[in-house]
Amino acid sequence: MCGIVGIIGNQPVAPLLVDALKRLEYRGYDSAGVATLHDGKLDRRRAEGKLINLETELTSTPLEGNVGIGHTRWATHGAPTQNNAHPHFCEGVAVVHNGIIENFSEIRDELSARGAQFTTDTDTEVVAQLLASLLRSGKSTKEAMLATLNIIRGAYAIAVLIEGENGQIIGARNGPPLAVGYGKGEMFLGSDAIALSPFTDDITYLEDGDWAIIDRNGVEIFDIEGNSVERARRKAFTAYAQVDKGNHRHFMEKEIYEQPEVMSHTLAHYVDFSSGRVRDIASEIDFSSVDSLKIAACGTAYYAGQIGKNWFERYAGLPVEIDVASEFRYREMPLPGSQAALFVSQSGETADTLASLRYCKEHGLKIGAIVNVRESTIAREADVVFPTLAGPEIGVASTKALTCQLSAFAALAIAAGRARGTLVEDEEVNMVRALSEAPRIAGSVLNTIQPQLETLSRELSKFRHVLYLGRGTNYTLAMEGALKLKEISYIHAEGYAAGELKHGPIALIDENMPVIVIAPHDRHFEKTISNMQEVAARGGRIIFITDENGAAASTLETMSTIVLPNVDELVMPLIFTLPVQLLAYHTAVFMGTDVDQPRNLAKSVTVE
């Protein structure tokens, strides 16, 4: 959620810190700040709102110093004001923090009783105050930092500057990610590789409980007991050149139009198109021997998992139970070892998903991770990683990550069907052939439907409530479409199973309620058309997303009918999500919202 950057450099670092923070904007934030050490003294600049406001502050009152830390804040404790913005200062200590200090109240009360004067409403300030009090008591920097980490509880990634330690940054991690980067005579600290990508691709990821003292010569890493530990250095996959909007107005638009290419990359990783077979991709999970599968994820990744469940059950005969990860982690369900588990996350750092993974691992399940960041915590802790080759996804509203997750799920379901004997070779070849055509069809759809959706979005923007309906995998796309519309346009939207219409939602239908029906001509088509007739009879405004066969078979009058090519049923979710994404995007653009960084939302939810 929040973003952290630290630089020990050979030139003034404030402008570099701001540039690095810009690459963390995709995480979501509502204020920002930087602090530097110069001639042994701390100084800082902070601003609420966007980074342009911080840049304005730095232009009028520049910061000197070759060592510094920066932060973008997503408010939890205290309003998003300049005073609550990080870094927080206390008696020569500067702290930035991502996460939540769960016992901040008791620490604050204890320090206040000893005379500490708190100046913010944040939980983070207790870290600065506590560390300063321990240094005041005569502890060394290392002793004080270790004692602080053993007192605070909760999720945190922390970066610290201390006056007198002019060439040093201290970092600590318990939950949210934190990476150390290596340069030539320079060192870096950041929430992810994207922030550090212009400086280095030589990275060490701290593990939970780690903390590190970083200076110009390198890094020393310790565990929570103060013992020195070794962590691997690795090359980051993220390329700085990729994080650019190109000729598009928004990252979200760029990422929608990248989908044919990244779907192709992901499918090629899993499928041998020349033989028409899925590669041997699941050696660590023997689908022939597991009797059921658990899936957990959050947000759009959860919807990818819902479609994956449909495919595993239909094509592999494998029972699947799927949960929102924030519920999964607390259900305390029995987990026999004959099960396996898959966890889906774009960032690979989603806190609830990671906690669910660890729960399953403790119970002896084989763990698979479908992630877009192969260096992430979820990837590192899984038994097998199923990568989605989407490249950096900057827009908060997930688009290309979803279609790549679906691509991976489709290949895994086919592999499971082959292993379990529910798919014969001819069926596998036909399914692979259908998948191989998906990127080309996706490109054709994106090139043809935009003008219609752009026009339709102007009409849709006049309404404050929208219903989405679908059956089977299209019910999942209805929920995903509703999520997209509400998160970037702020129009209230709900996705329902079309068969549930008469069990409540039909009460809302009138001439002021657009109903978006996702209904290709599949085995559910006739029943979904019956639900559309019920909407039409009550004056509902129907937006019909279908295929050529579906359009030919329907005579209902609609507000708009969006016609896609006929495709194999396996491929339908990959193609029918595209108009859903574009409609939400153009509606948000027309309404003038912040498409890439919608209010109150964060890209990577690294705390509960």
pLDDT in tens, 256-281: 999 988 998 899 889 988 788 998 87
**CATH number of the domain where residue 540 is located:** 3.40.50.10490
pTM: 0.79
Number of helices (H), then strands (E), in the chain: 18, 27
Q: Which CATH number characterizes residue 173's domain?
A: 3.60.20.10
Strand residue runs (E) in 485-586: 492-497, 514-518, 541-547, 560-564
CA dihedral 168, 174, 176, 177 (to 10 degrees): 50
**Residues with active-site annotation:** 2, 603
- Domain count for the chain, please give it: 3
Quote the CA–CA distance of 483 and 491 in Å, as a whole number.
10
| Integer Cα distance of 230 and 524 in angstroms | 56
- Report the pLDDT value the prediction gives residue 240, as an integer from 0 to 100: 45
* Rg of the chain (C-alpha set): 25
DSSP class per residue in 269-286: HHEETTTTEE-S--TTS-
Asked if residue 341 belongs to a domain, the reply is yes
Tell me, yes or no, whether 342 and 296 share the same domain: yes
pLDDT digits (tens, 9 = 90+) for 212-242: 999 999 999 999 999 999 998 988 765 444 4
State whether 262 and 342 are in the same domain. yes
Is the domain of 217 the same as that of 257? Answer: no
Distance CA 488, CA 59 (A): 32
Same domain for 104 and 25, yes or no, is yes
Element (H, E) at 31: strand 31-38
Which residues, listed in sequence order, are joined to residue 160 by a DSSP beta bridge?
95, 170
**Contact (Cβ atoms closer than 8 angstroms) between residue 457 and residue 583:** yes
Q: Are residues 262 and 164 in the same domain?
A: no
Sign of CA dihedral 463, 465, 467, 468: positive
Contact 385, 371 (CB under 8 A): yes
> Residue 267: helix, strand or coil by DSSP?
helix
- Helix boundaries (H) for 183-223: 193-196
pLDDT of 172-197, one tens digit each? 998 788 999 999 889 999 987 778 88
The confidence score (pLDDT) of residue 600 equals 79
Tokens 């510094």 belong to residue:
68
Q: Which residues of the chain have pLDDT under 70?
A: 1, 26, 237-244, 246, 282, 602-608
Pairing of strands 320-324, 366-371: unpaired
First to last CA, the chain: 10
187 and 274 in a single domain? The answer is no
Residue 132 lies in a domain: yes
